[in-house]
Amino acid sequence: MADAAKAAGKYFGTAADYPGTGEGSDPYYLAALANPHNFDQITPANIMKWVYVEPQQNVFDYTGADQFVALAKANDQIIRCHNLNWYNQLPNWITYPAVPWTNDTLMAALRNHIDNVMGHFGDDCYHWDVVNEAFDDSGNFRNDIWYQVSGPSYISVAFEAANAAKAKYGLKTKLYYNDYNIEYNGAKSTLAKQLVANLTAQGINIDGVGLQSHFIVGSTPNEASQASNMASFTALKNANGVNIEVAITELDVRTADTGSISCPSASVTVAVQNQQVKDYFNSVNACALTAGCVGVTVWDFDDTYSWIPSTFAGQGWGDIYYQPGGANQPLVGKAAIDGIIDGFQNVQPGTYA
C-alpha cells in the first residue's frame, strides 16, 4: 500500500496505539506495522494526547510518546502528531480545575502546552493536528470547556501558539485542523472552511485540513462528493498565500458485525466485503486524484485492536487486517487492501472477497 501511495506521490499510514498496549507486544501486529511496503507513516492513536503528555499542569511526561517516535524512526516512517487541542482525553486539571478557568488562565495553559509539546518533538512531527473536532454535528461550535471559557477564539489562539512554536524552534512541521463529517460538502464542512478563512483573515497560518473519514460500509459519501469536497478545501489559500492541503487522517469502514473480532459474523456477507473494498477504494482514489491531498491514514489496521467495537456497539470488521487465531497469531489481509492499492493506482476495483 505504501509503495502504491509513493508511486502516486502520497504517503499511506496507520494509527497505532503504542506503547503499553496489547498490540505493543503482539509480534505479528508489530511486524505488519513495521513493514515499509505497508505503511510509510504512523499516527499515535493516544500517546501524544494531553492526558498523557501533561498529566499535571506544567508537568510534562514524554516517556511513552518518545517510545512511539523511536518506533517510527526505526521503521523509517513519518509521523502525523495527534493532537494539541481536543475536548476529549484531557487531564482532570483542565476539565475539573481547582480554581475556575478564566479566558486568560486557560489560554495561557493552552499556549504553554503547545509551546512545550511542539518544542519537544520538533520536526519529528511531519504534521500536527493542532485543533481536533471543534464542531458538533448540528453545525455549531462544540460546547466544550474551550468554547465555554474562551468562545471560538481559542482556535485562533491554538494556531497562533503553534505558529509561534514553529518560529521559536525553527520548525517545518505542518499545522492541521482535523475533524469528522467534513468529508463531503455540508454544514460541518462549511464550518471547517470558515475556520480556515477566519485564520487566514487574521494572518494566522494553517497548512492543512484532516478529513477523518470514519465511515459505515455502504453509506460512505461517494467518490465524486469526496473529491469535490477536497477540491473546495484545496482551493482555499492560507495566510502565506499557499493553497490548503488535505489528508485523509483516520479512515475506517465499519460494518454491522456482532461476531468475535477474530472472525466476522454472518452479517458480513461477501456482498458487504466487496462493498467495503469499494468504499476504501473511493476514499483512496479521491485522494489519489486530488493534487493537494497528501496522503491517507487508516485508524488502526487490525480488527483485534480497533477502536470501533468499543465505541460503536454492535459494529466492527472495519479494518484491513484481522487475526483468525486472535491476538499474537498471524494476520490475514482483507480484500480492502486491494481496494486501497487500486485506489492509489487509479484502477477500478474488481470483486475480491
| Residues carrying an active site annotation | 133, 250
Chain-centroid distance of CA 29 in Å reads 20
- 60 phi, psi to nearest 5 deg: -100, 140
Q: Tell the smallest beta-carbon distance from residue 179 to ligand XIL (Å).
A: 8
Q: Which residue is nearest to ligand XIL (CB)?
A: 307
Q: Identify which of 79, 77, 3 has the alpha carbon closest to the alpha carbon of residue 33.
A: 77
Q: How many residues in the chain?
A: 353
Residue number with CB closer to ligand XIL (46 or 229): 46
Spatial separation of the C-alpha atoms in residues 56 and 61, rounded to whole Å = 9
Cell of 227: 473529491
CB nearer to ligand XIL: pick between 322 and 344: 322
Minimum CB separation of residue 214 from ligand XIL in Å reads 6
C-alpha span between 230 and 246 (Å, rounded) = 7
Minimum distance between the CB of residue 170 and ligand XIL, rounded to whole angstroms?
Answer: 28
Q: What share of the chain is helix, strand, coil (3-state, %, to 5)?
A: 40, 20, 40
Q: Which is nearer to ligand XIL, 17 or 66 (CB)?
A: 17
Which CB, 295 or 349, lies closer to ligand XIL? Answer: 295
Whole-number Å distance between alpha carbons of 244 and 198:
13
Contacts with ligand XIL by CB under 6 A lie at 17, 45-46, 132, 212, 250, 307
Q: Give 324's DSSP letter.
A: T
- Residue ranges in 122-241 assigned as alpha helix (H): 145-150, 153-169, 187-201, 223-234
CA pair distance 283, 281, nearest whole angstrom: 6
Give me the least distance between CB of 20 and ligand XIL, in Å please.
12
The CB-of-241 to ligand XIL minimum distance in angstroms stands at 29
Residue 132 or 200: the one with the smaller Cβ distance to ligand XIL is 132
**Mapped to the 3 state alphabet, what secondary structure does 24-61 carry?**
HHCHHHHHHHHCCCCCCEEEECCCCCHHHHCCECCECC
